[in-house]
A and B are shown apart, each in its own frame.
Chain A
Amino acid sequence: MSNPAQDLTLRYTTSQQELEDLVVARQKLETQLQENKIVQDEFDTLKDDTKVYKLTGNVLLPVEQFEAKNNVSKRLEFISKEIQRCEENIKGSQAALEQMRAELMKAQQAAQA
């Protein structure tokens, strides 16, 4: 196998790995999104005077309800943005892989000819 072809294969495998990592990150974000959504739904059903605590280390610290609500909705916003960013990266990575696959095929055909 010639050197450029070897290079291409190597780049292809690293890109594949990158795509896989992105997909894993996307799944993690989805889990976080769902969990925060559940928390937000629960917050929405609370009475105004219900006490809310946050687990910090091993201690439950009281927090203001509105603060907790704000915090969770901000987190949801952030996670949604991250998901968008991640999906764009995935699309880019897939396109790059597609292109490399085409190049690889061409190289293979050239080698056979």
Chain B
Amino acid sequence: MVDLTKLNPEQLSMVKQQFDQELQHFSQSLQALNVARNKFRECKDDIASVSKLENQKQELLVPLSGSLYVKGHMKDTQKFMVDIGTGYYVEKSDLEATEFYDKKIAKLNQESVQIQNIIKEKSQSSMAIEGHIRQAAIKLHEEQANSAPQGAQPKAN
């Protein structure tokens, strides 16, 4: 770790900029995580509502395209095709599918906590650097104020 007190204000603000960039990157990641988590939660809710007993033989409209539908009915409300990534889908029972999404959500929660901790750390560092910048600026100001009269004296003589 570089000693922050030894850097000049310009270098400090560069360091701060870097921290802020990283901070932004992590915030975006956190947001993406939350979006993904919400999607999984919706899937879970959908499973819960579709697998209810009264939905057996439930009629519905099947979209053939965005503006074309045909009538259909639920043939099997206990089996779901779950997207597991890279275009592969796996047939799961309602319980298995719910378990699958629970696992995903738990994993995302874990990662979300990790990222939140990182963000907390980074923003504290960013704030500390800002403090250093202010101090460095004050010091520079004082030095200039002190050196100005001394520089003026020889001229007066």
- Pair from one complex: yes
A98 sits at the interface (CB 8 A):
no
Contact B87 A50 (CB under 8 A): no
Q: Which of B81, B84, B91 sits near A42, CB closer than 8 Å?
A: B84
Expressed in whole angstroms, the Cα–Cα distance for A60 and B89 within the complex equals 8
Q: Which residue of B lies closest to A36 (CB)?
A: B86
| B54, chain A: closest CB distance, angstroms | 26
Report chain B residues within 8 Å CB of A42.
Answer: 84-85, 90, 100
A105 sits at the interface (CB 8 A):
no
Contacts A53-B81, A60-B81: A35 and B86 contacting too (C-beta < 8 A)? yes
Interface majority SS on B: helix, strand, loop or mixed?
strand
| Tally of contacts, chain A with chain B, CB under 8 A | 45
Q: Which residue of B lies closest to A47 (CB)?
A: B96
Q: Which residue of B lies closest to A37 (CB)?
A: B85
Segment 89-117 of B: residues with Cβ below 8 Å from A: 89-92, 100
Give the interface residue-count category, chain A.
10 to 19
| A54, chain B: closest CB distance, angstroms | 6
Contact A55 B89 (CB under 8 A): yes
Segment 71-94 of B: residues with Cβ below 8 Å from A: 81, 83-92
Report chain B residues within 8 Å CB of A55.
Answer: 83, 87-89
Apart from the given pairs A42-B85, A52-B88, 11 other A-B contacts in the complex at a CB distance below 8 Å: A36-B86, A42-B84, A51-B91, A52-B89, A52-B91, A53-B81, A53-B88, A53-B91, A60-B89, A68-B88, A72-B86
Contact A39 B91 (CB under 8 A): no
Report chain A residues within 8 Å CB of B87.
Answer: 54-56
Report chain B residues within 8 Å CB of A68.
Answer: 88
| A111, chain B: closest CB distance, angstroms | 26
Report chain B residues within 8 Å CB of A54.
Answer: 87-89
Contacts A50-B91, A51-B91, A53-B91: A39 and B81 contacting too (C-beta < 8 A)? no
Q: Which residue of B lies closest to A56 (CB)?
A: B87
Expressed in whole angstroms, the Cα–Cα distance for A75 and B86 within the complex equals 11
